[in-house]
Structure 1
Amino acid sequence: MELRIPTHDQLRTIYHRDLKEAFPEAELKSLATIETMWDQGQYIPYCLFDGDAIVGEAFVWLGHPGWALLDYLCVSSTARNAGLGASVLKSLLEAEPDTVFFGEVEAPVHAPDPAMAERRLAFYFRNGLRMAGYDTEIFGVHYKTLYLANRLVEDGPLMEEHQFVYRQSFSPQKYRKYIRIPRDPDAEPGEQIPWDQ
């Protein structure tokens, strides 16, 4: 198996086959948004290839050099429960050993399926991700913040890079309205709205 970049046609196939099946609408960017960000050098859709077949994906949203948001991690529905999610994460860190990958995992306390959210967190912990000391809220979805790196990372620099990724992509007005980094732990989540509103 090999982690590499897909063609645009392959990206379109896996978006409809894997991402739309695995992620709720409130958490999923449109294909057009992903393609635009990729073309502008802000995004890398890494894919795990088994021969010519794509069996998993790790889409990363680039920040400053050495920092990236792990935007989507997904395994094809026909290849699940074979350790491929772990393989994608391991391959990602091997490909980018000096990068800190931070991510957002739906907080069980506000998730529609708390048990599933707990299983996702457990998967990430088993595969070496660490919990940051702050949560986020993005477009009304409450997330726990995790990171994958070959070193320990303090919350201050991590939060600054987390904020930067969103600030470089959204207007100040949209950022203020829909992005909470960090999230107030006593606040109720806002209304969930689509990414591309």
Structure 2
Amino acid sequence: MELVKALTKERQDRIYQLYLTAFPKSEQKPFKILIEKQEEGIVDLLSIEEDEHFLGLAIMVRYLDMVLLDYLAIDDGARNGGYGSLTIQALLERYSGFRMILEIDSTKEEQAADLSIRIRRKAFYHRNGLTDLPYQVNLWGNQMEMLSNGRPVSFEEYLSLYQESFGAGVSKNIGLLA
């Protein structure tokens, strides 16, 4: 299994098709902006592949010594094959010099219809070496828990990653939760 930077239209199209189906529309950034940000050296659109067979996507946002795992999805046909864990390990290795962070839907929203999925997802990340950060965020109206690769990232640093990568206007859509 390998992570291949999606520089070709073919790879970008495969990522885009999975992106559309794997994430709720409310959580999707305009894909054109992600491609533009990759061209600027801010975003890495990564195709997860084995023997050139597409398995999934990882979309990373880099700023200073931080990297945000913005999106991770394994194609339905490749699920339950251990590729999620292999991908996390490959990302941790690829970005070993960075403080890696990610947002997950809060497991503290006990009335959430998908609470069991949220709990399983958090356990998956914990099994793969990621740890909780001591704060949660409101991200475009969604309550999110924050995880990292064991290196601390403050809320202010996290917010600066978004502001520097996508513009100062995003800060009105991101808030610290008590």
* Same fold, TM-score > 0.5, yes or no: yes
Contact 1:70 1:103 survives alignment (8 Å): yes
Structure 2 counterpart of 1:42: 42
Structure number with greater CO (CA < 8 Å, separation at least 6) is 1
Alpha-carbon RMSD across the aligned residues, in angstroms, is: 1.6
In the alignment, the residues of structure 2 paired with residue 133 and residue 163 of structure 1 have an alpha-carbon distance, to the nearest angstrom, of: 15
Count of aligned residue pairs for this structure pair: 174
Please state how far the C-alpha of 1:47 moved relative to its aligned partner. Answer: 2.1
Structure 1 counterpart of 2:151: 153
Percent identity of the aligned residues? 26
In the alignment, the residues of structure 1 paired with residue 51 and residue 43 of structure 2 have an alpha-carbon distance, to the nearest angstrom, of: 24
Report whether the alignment pairs 1:53 with 2:49.
Answer: no
- Gaps in structure 1 of 5+ consecutive residues: 186-197
- Gaps in structure 2 of 5+ consecutive residues: none
Please state how far the C-alpha of 1:112 moved relative to its aligned partner. Answer: 4.0
Structure 2 counterpart of 1:195: none
In the alignment, the residues of structure 2 paired with residue 43 and residue 13 of structure 1 have an alpha-carbon distance, to the nearest angstrom, of: 17
Q: Would the alpha carbon gap of residues 99 and 161 (structure 1) be closer, same or farther in structure 2, given more than 3 Å must change?
A: same
Structure 1 counterpart of 2:161: 165
Q: Secondary structure at the match of 1:68?
A: strand
In the alignment, the residues of structure 2 paired with residue 84 and residue 52 of structure 1 have an alpha-carbon distance, to the nearest angstrom, of: 14
Structure 1 counterpart of 2:95: 96
Contact 1:47 1:58 survives alignment (8 Å): yes
Report whether the alignment pairs 1:141 with 2:142.
Answer: yes
Structure 2 counterpart of 1:179: 174
Please state how far the C-alpha of 1:89 moved relative to its aligned partner. Answer: 0.8
Question: Which shifted more, 5-14 or 116-125?
Answer: 5-14
Please state how far the C-alpha of 1:56 moved relative to its aligned partner. Answer: 2.2
Structure 1 counterpart of 2:73: 74
Question: Which shifted more, 134-143 or 112-121?
Answer: 112-121
In the alignment, the residues of structure 1 paired with residue 47 and residue 24 of structure 2 have an alpha-carbon distance, to the nearest angstrom, of: 20
1:50-87 Cα distance to aligned partner (Å, 9 max, x none): 111121222101111x2111101110111001110101
Structure 1 counterpart of 2:133: 132
Structure 1 counterpart of 2:9: 8
1:30-65 Cα distance to aligned partner (Å, 9 max, x none): 21121111112110012221111121222101111x
Question: What TM-score does the superposition give when structure 2 sets the normalisation length?
Answer: 0.90
Q: Secondary structure at the match of 1:136?
A: strand
- The structure that is strand-richer by fraction is 2
In the alignment, the residues of structure 1 paired with residue 151 and residue 82 of structure 2 have an alpha-carbon distance, to the nearest angstrom, of: 27
1:78-127 Cα distance to aligned partner (Å, 9 max, x none): 10011101011111112221111100001130644111111111111111
Question: What TM-score does the superposition give when structure 1 sets the normalisation length?
Answer: 0.82
